[in-house]
């Protein structure tokens, strides 16, 4: 896959997030330290270095942060978004007004380290299932406000995106099925009410629910917390009649065993909600 | 300390974040699944359960989420914010319109699990230094948009807050000191320019910088990446003349050794930027 | 279909639109006429009357407008959203403070008349294809800012929604197909890159493109500006292997002939972009 | 009249509307189709063509849409805002990055087609009264959120604007007159309370109300739903003592007869609330 | 005049200003002092006292501030907006949660003292011209963001409002007249282009410009920096043919002499841009 | 002090205020006068002149206003922010499109005159205490929405900033002390709860409270409404053990006597809440 062709969220949609993050850090009085100490006309070059190995994600966001404070800041990228960078290796260089770059530093890094952490966690589990057809998908368990960015980081890490929200697909869970009066009724009701571009996935806990789901024309079936053996049996029963997704606290350690069952998609919450940051530093030198 | 007296961020300031998170999840079309399947007048009770032990944080935020969709939703809290809850123990019950609660579920949990994760990580390291006078402080390495909430979660976990941003204190680092022409000049310049309510902290890498910092009247001194032995020496030299803060990738494993050196404050980035979520579930039953 | 079970957009997402519309009408100085003439404590009852027959849509939005100016305004609904009301028949009664209701009147009506116009236009074309399985779908040709509301009005009129935006489904058109190097390549590229919940529709101009679309697994096929005869042929060729959608300036006059070809979906732009309002008046009497 | 001297709404006030419309169309995930298929560096030229004859309005708004996604997009305008364009004639050419222009297309057209529809409808009725002194005015029956743009389109179509809102003029209607205790009392109360730059118009249903309106110094008189004969009589009575406005479901068919009565202003709601779009297409070719 | 019938700006339009002001004062961390010291359940009663005599303005705004932090706060008003209160006299009592009222105190007072200052300054100059028909009008020289509130305060002080902005009336000044090619051309151009509800005022520096202004049908004439003798002459020449407004650094000391010239309106910038606050205190007692 | 090194609030944070102020002045219809009279391509040069002597503040804000309407407007500054300008002396020249500059004029001046008024008032009182070590500090009695700008103007006038809000320092007043059970308990509670970068100031009314404040380690002591003799005694008692601040309706007339008592800080509310504007005009000439 041509990693560089992965589309980042539109800049005009991300900029408000970066403005808000800068406003959150600058408060009313701004950067007391820098404004007091650093002359207005001083210039500086900063080197973004990975302190550990990982997948870079968020350089565009960091650039927006620097440019909101210095519209003429220059960024030279050594490792573009989606690249795996080694420990203690340079990622990019940013040059511009010293006050602006020192003031924007923390916000730029907070985005960059978090998103690279998500991409790195994704890459780890994607690599774990290499050789199997299963794809790694993220969930809606994302950080409030950062969903589009985190889902972009997942793509950079080699994963695919599940639903972006409650509005771009149907996922029938226990509660819905009970209310609707069974799997078949639930699927049919959804298909009758919604437009022809909406897919319907149904969550099943037991193998014996698969028949109803397939008969009603489910587009996808989510196997919830099943054992690998059960998953294998489910895959055989479905037999290509629907997409099969495995779910339930799957990690890099357990993913290969799951992938070996033949499921099409493995969804993981932790790559967005619990991935540690990728430690990236910004080292300055005057110019 | 009376944990329950810790003030949560004002609801009117948090509500826009929750609205944005709900809008992020609902998109334009809303909850296709629930709106299609669940009758408008159905009611439900949901039980928030901790799947693992930890410190609860964010019940007020979750409540805002439920009430934005059902203003009459009722919340009964068993374990208030700041409480340590055991694994598989109930935290709270929420009752109201079924559509509203099912639709708000994920957003409410995304806030609650993340903030409880931060509080739990903080508590872990706070407990590790129990018996020492050192306090655990968070940093500005927070998730963009969530700083006030994450700093609140840190307080719930028993920690204290360092600066909320660049504008409520001076922290002189390498770059500033070089530009200013030395520690003394930097501190004096800051004190001369800024109001009398602003404290000045200076980061030192070497023991022999302490003298200049003390002489110039630094309010606090940050020991950056020093060994415990160096910290102990620094504490002795400072001898109460300034607050001493230890910093540099300190974890629950290493904190006690650091605390034993006599430093006043130990600051940790990971409790906000890399804490895994506390897994909390929401189980529904019709009413 | 139980029309009353159609979910309206969440009130907390619609309220900002209504606030903006009221601000647009009130400007800085407010309602000069009413504020000058009408006593603060006067109360009034207003009757919403249909001046022509049509389908009601937007009573919830109108209610938000009245309540933003008088939180205690009372609305009694005779013809709920989705109901077909006769000419010169009452729709609802609103009671409250005279200043508030007189000031909110135009904004409430601007929403209500426009949305009812969309619902009425939809109903007209839906009725025209009654007896055929084809469903009437709206497009993305909507009024900027009002998409969710207009798509709701379409549902109230008996139609279904096509994509809500560029992000909840793939629609491959001429330009995309040329760039990708053919229909097959385009579909495969989309399926490989995107998550398993995204459907792929492809627009075809010629009958002989159908084979490639089917072979590549298109979920839906849009027949662009074909004659009824061509559509009939296309339906026969597809033979249930994909959803078939007809498109191209279809109106209430031509819809039945199109529906008779056996297509699954007929999409119409004019029901959202060119529907005339349904004329609804608000007649006041003091109380 | 020099049509080109008509001032468009300030760009900085319109841009937020265009951002909101693009956000409404792109959602969280952006243009799945284009982002997946079209290479990042592809460039394209698009031709805006009128599919029917009409008056162009909104090229500036469309330009903002394209430039929000490609700041370097170039627009060459053949038929500027206010020009009458023939069917199947080119309006403008836009060149730039293919992804940006394909993604912005629908939003740009939604604004352009709607506003050109309003301008075209206005021009139709303006032409119908050519030769009479009467001017065609729009009302406050506008699409929520688009009032300034629609009123601009009306000016481009040769019409003039009535009040922009409730705050830039007084219009005394039935309800106000009853509450105030008569036409004279209402006008006097308004004149006494409000600043000297506010005009007062009064709506009259009967010829015999004209005397009181004139005596009290009404700046303008609105004849509500009168017959042409009544209007003619009213014009004679007023005899230049106030502006005379005719109102009440006036269309291009009936306008000339109304204009012939000698009224100064004819106000029409349908040119803003029910004008069908002007069909304009955007045809792309690679560059 | 019934002062109590003066309409305040709509609460839903003012609330965002109050939220912003509270956010400006609370920052990210909130009220450190109150949150640390005052128990959550403490309640308090606060007495708003005028420290000097003046006209009260802004109680509704202050109430919004208190209620954003304590929705159940109770306000009992002794001196409503528009009332002249004596020095050291009570204005209102507010009761509610202690934390909320202490935290909102400064923001509530900042609005209340400023607006009451504007009303008091207005009243002073209005009283100075008592007995003359001249009305006192404010200008567009207002505090950015507070125009609607300041213009409301002017009304409470007995003044009237001139234009609310550049869009609700024409005021032709030197630059416009030169560009248009004279007063007559300027007025005629404005009348031809704009709707019939827009008044046209023209600023004249010399008596000999009056003829052209009157001939072209100016609705109002602004005498710029003329002497009282010149004003008297101008009033005689205009002779009721247009509203006559006097302008130019007029204060309470000079207003009576100006009013005696017979002008209709005296406009003053300083009542909005330079009025000192009315000193109002808030004294608390526990309840 | 190098006045030019005082940092202005970040432009990206101020721009929204300027946009809002322009929107407040332009309303929906924009500048009716200029748009009607001035040709689109006319250009103009404007000279900002001080009508009275004072300290300039806000040129950056004014520049934002001009550039929002004409991005290519050029500003040449003769007297930068912080400079004392003489009466009838030029401050800056602005050149650009005539429509843009005429339309932005009032908003630019409203900011510039108000902020220069604050800076001028500050300078007046700063000059009054020249020769004494006391610094002049502003308070939280600022205009809602303009705090960061007014505090910047205070710095330009030679003053320093007290707290920017409730969140960047503790100020214990009567009510807090009573609730906490005394000065000592209040200070200790604050120090125990809050981070190490927060200073604690305590307000004392009586000399005999100083002992408790010093013993508990107050960082600063505010002497509320004391006589100069009491202040002198307080300064002697404190003897360098804490910052001493004088407060209470101090003006340029009384400041020197206060400064002579040896206090470190004199805080003044009126320099932000009641400073009259500095009268600055903008005179245009065609180019």
Question: pLDDT value at position D248?
Answer: 86
Question: pLDDT value at position E1?
Answer: 37
Look up D184 and say whether it is catalytic: no
Q: What is the mean pLDDT of residues B105-109?
A: 98
pLDDT at F63 over 90: yes
Look up F203 and say whether it is catalytic: yes
Helix (H) or strand (E) holding C99: helix C98-128
User: CA D151 → CA B106, C43, F237, distances in Å?
Assistant: 43, 33, 71
Q: Which of B24, B117, B167 sits opposite A30 (nearest CB)?
A: B167
Residues of B that are catalytic: 106, 141, 173, 203, 224
Among left, alpha and beta (phi > 0; psi -120 to 50; other), residue A161 is beta
Lowest-pLDDT choice from A93-97, E282-286, F240-244, F277-281: E282-286
Residue D93's closest CA among D59, D153, D60, D47? D47
pLDDT at B3 over 70: no
Mean pLDDT value across chain A:
95
- As a whole-number percent, the residues of chain B with pLDDT over 90 amount to 93
pLDDT band at residue C179 under the 50/70/90 scheme? confident
Query: What φ, ψ does residue A194 adopt, rounded to 5°?
Result: -100, 165
Q: What is the DSSP letter of C275?
A: P
> Both tokens of residue C53?
């027959």
pLDDT at A75 over 60: yes
F23 touches chain C (CB under 8 A): no
pLDDT at A1 over 50: no
pLDDT at E230 over 50: yes
Question: pLDDT value at position E2?
Answer: 44
> How far is it between the farthest Cα atoms of chain F?
72
Cα(B200)–Cα(C73) distance, integer angstroms: 55
Question: pLDDT value at position E152?
Answer: 98
A231 touches chain B (CB under 8 A): no
Is E168 close to C27, i.e. CB distance below 8 A?
yes
Residue C149's closest CA among C108, C116, C193, C192? C116
- Say if residues C46 and C109 touch (Cβ distance below 8 Å): no
Q: What is the mean pLDDT of residues D214-226?
A: 96
SS3 content of chain F, % helix, strand, coil (to 5): 45, 20, 35
Cα(A86)–Cα(A67) distance, integer angstroms: 27
Helix (H) or strand (E) holding D96: strand D89-97
Is D141 close to C110, i.e. CB distance below 8 A?
yes
> Both tokens of residue F225?
């409404």
> Both tokens of residue B129?
């230094």
Cα(E173)–Cα(E223) distance, integer angstroms: 11
D27 touches chain A (CB under 8 A): yes
pLDDT tens digit string along A220-237?
A: 999 998 999 999 999 999
Mean pLDDT value across chain C:
95
Question: pLDDT value at position C71?
Answer: 97
pLDDT at E22 over 50: yes
The per-residue DSSP string of chain E comes to: --GGGSPPPPHHHHHHHHHHHHHHHHTTT--HHHHHHS-TT-EEEEEEEESS-EE---HHHHHHHHHHH-TT-EEEESS-TT-EE-TTEEEEEEEEEHHHHHHHHHHHHHHHHHHHHHHHHHHHHHHHTTTSSPEEEE-S---TT-HHHHHHHHHHTT-EE--SSTTSSEEE-HHHHHHHTSHHHHHHHHHHHS-TTB-EEEEESSGGGHHHHHHTT-SEEEEES--HHHHHHHHHHHTTSSEEEEESS--TTTHHHHHTTT-SEEE-SHHHHSPPPP-EEEEEEE-
Instruction: List the single best residue of E195, E201, E219 to mutate versus D (max D Cβ within 10 A).
Output: E195
Cα(D114)–Cα(D55) distance, integer angstroms: 11
Q: How many CB atoms lie under 10 A from the CB of residue A251? A: 15
The per-residue DSSP string of D133-190 comes to: SPEEEE-S---TT-HHHHHHHHHHTT-EE--SSTTSSEEE-HHHHHHHTSHHHHHHHH
Question: pLDDT value at position F3?
Answer: 45
Cα(E221)–Cα(F272) distance, integer angstroms: 36
3-state secondary structure labels for all residues of chain B: CCHHHCCCCCHHHHHHHHHHHHHHHHCCCCCHHHHHHCCCCCEEEEEEEECCCEECCCHHHHHHHHHHHCCCCEEEECCCCCCEECCCEEEEEEEEEHHHHHHHHHHHHHHHHHHHHHHHHHHHHHHHCCCCCCEEEECCCCCCCCHHHHHHHHHHCCCEECCCCCCCCEEECHHHHHHHCCHHHHHHHHHHHCCCCECEEEEECCHHHHHHHHHCCCCEEEEECCCHHHHHHHHHHHCCCCEEEEECCCCCCCHHHHHCCCCCEEECCHHHHCCCCCCEEEEEEEC
pLDDT tens digit string along B17-37?
A: 999 999 999 999 999 999 999
- Say if residues D17 and D62 touch (Cβ distance below 8 Å): no
Q: How many CB atoms lie under 10 A from the CB of residue B106? A: 21
pLDDT tens digit string along C102-158?
A: 999 999 999 999 999 999 999 999 999 999 999 999 999 999 999 999 999 999 999
User: Chain C, 115-154: which have a CB under 8 Å from a chain B CB?
Assistant: 147-148, 151
Question: pLDDT value at position C68?
Answer: 98
pLDDT at A2 over 50: no
A37 touches chain B (CB under 8 A): yes
Helix (H) or strand (E) holding A173: none
Query: What φ, ψ does residue A65 adopt, rounded to 5°?
Result: -60, -50
A35 touches chain E (CB under 8 A): no
CA angle A46, A47, A53 (to 5 degrees): 150
Mean pLDDT value across chain F:
95
Question: pLDDT value at position F243?
Answer: 98
Is C160 close to A265, i.e. CB distance below 8 A?
no
SS3 state of residue F137: strand
Long-range CB pairs of B90-94, under 8 A, 24+ apart, other chains included: B90/B47, B90/B48, B90/B49, B90/B50, B91/B48, B91/B49, B91/B50, B91/B56, B91/B59, B91/B280, B92/B47, B92/B48, B92/B59, B93/B45, B93/B46, B93/B47, B93/B48, B94/B45, B94/B46, B94/B48, B94/B62, B94/B63, B94/B66, B94/B282
Query: What φ, ψ does residue E268 adopt, rounded to 5°?
Result: -130, 125
pLDDT tens digit string along A87-107?
A: 999 999 999 999 999 999 999
A217 touches chain C (CB under 8 A): no
Q: Which of F26, F107, F165 sits opposite E144 (nearest CB)?
A: F107
> Both tokens of residue B74?
């009722």
pLDDT band at residue D1 under the 50/70/90 scheme? very low
- As a whole-number percent, the residues of chain E with pLDDT over 70 amount to 99
Whats the size of chain E, residue-wise?
287
- Say if residues D107 and D22 touch (Cβ distance below 8 Å): yes
pLDDT tens digit string along E67-107?
A: 999 999 999 999 999 999 999 999 999 999 999 999 999 99
What is the b/e burial string over A197-232, where b = at least 16 CB atoms within 10 angstroms of the residue's CB? bbbbbbbbeeeebbebbbebebbbbbbeebeeebbb
- Say if residues D85 and D91 touch (Cβ distance below 8 Å): yes
Instruction: List the single best residue of A2, A9, A12 to mutate versus D (max D Cβ within 10 A).
Output: A12
Lowest-pLDDT choice from A147-151, E40-44, E199-203: E40-44
Q: What is the mean pLDDT of residues A143-164?
A: 98
pLDDT at D98 over 60: yes
Residue F188's closest CA among F226, F218, F151? F218
Q: Which of A160, A194, A243 sits opposite C194 (nearest CB)?
A: A160
- Say if residues D59 and A179 touch (Cβ distance below 8 Å): no
pLDDT at D261 over 60: yes
- Say if residues A118 and A153 touch (Cβ distance below 8 Å): yes
CB proximity list for B198: less than 8 A, separation 6 or greater: A32, B168, B169, B170, B190, F168, F199
Lowest-pLDDT choice from B261-265, D136-140, E250-254: E250-254
User: Chain F, 43-102: which have a CB under 8 Å from a chain E CB?
Assistant: 44, 98, 102
Beta strands in F186-249 (DSSP E): 200-204, 220-224, 243-247
Question: pLDDT value at position D3?
Answer: 44
Mean pLDDT value across chain E:
95
Cα(C175)–Cα(C279) distance, integer angstroms: 41
Instruction: List the single best residue of D1, D3, D12, D153 to mutate versus F (max F Cβ within 10 A).
Output: D12
SS3 state of residue D213: helix
SS3 state of residue F213: helix
pLDDT at C1 over 50: no
pLDDT band at residue A3 under the 50/70/90 scheme? very low
A16 touches chain D (CB under 8 A): no
D181 touches chain A (CB under 8 A): no
CA angle D137, D140, D145 (to 5 degrees): 120
Question: pLDDT value at position B152?
Answer: 98
Residue D37's closest CA among C198, A7, C204, A10? A7
- As a whole-number percent, the residues of chain D with pLDDT over 90 amount to 93
> Both tokens of residue A213?
């789901």
> Given CA atoms E198, E204, E209, E214 in this order, what sign does their dihedral have?
positive
SS3 state of residue C210: helix
């Amino acid at each position: 896959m041509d990693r560089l062709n992965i589309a980042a969220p539109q800049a005009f949609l991300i900029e408000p997030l970066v403005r808000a993050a800068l406003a959150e850090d600058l408060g009313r009085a701004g950067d007391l330290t820098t404004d007091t100490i650093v002359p207005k006309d001083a210039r500086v070059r900063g080197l973004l270095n990975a302190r550990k190995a990982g997948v870079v994600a968020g350089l565009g966001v960091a650039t927006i942060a620097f440019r909101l404070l210095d519209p003429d800041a220059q960024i030279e990228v050594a490792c573009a978004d989606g690249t795996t960078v080694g420990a203690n290796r340079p990622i990019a260089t940013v040059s511009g007004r010293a006050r602006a770059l020192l003031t924007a530093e923390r916000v730029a890094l907070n985005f960059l380290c978090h998103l690279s952490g998500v991409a790195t966690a994704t890459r780890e589990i994607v690599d774990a299932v290499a050789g199997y057809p299963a794809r790694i998908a993220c969930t809606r368990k994302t950080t409030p406000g950062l969903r589009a960015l985190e889902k972009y980081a997942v793509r950079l890490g080699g994963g695919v995106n599940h639903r972006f929200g409650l509005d771009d697909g149907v996922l029938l869970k226990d509660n819905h099925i009970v209310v609707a009066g069974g799997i078949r009724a639930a699927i049919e009701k959804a298909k009758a009410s919604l437009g022809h571009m909406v897919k319907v996935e149904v969550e099943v806990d037991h193998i014996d629910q698969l028949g109803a789901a397939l008969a009603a024309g489910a587009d996808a079936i989510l196997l919830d917390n099943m054992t690998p053996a059960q998953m294998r049996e489910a895959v055989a029963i479905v037999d290509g009649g629907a997409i099969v997704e495995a779910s339930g606290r799957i990690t890099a350690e357990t993913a290969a065993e799951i992938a070996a069952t033949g499921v099409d998609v493995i969804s993981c919450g932790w790559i967005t909600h619990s991935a540690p940051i990728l430690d990236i530093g910004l080292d300055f030198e005057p110019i």
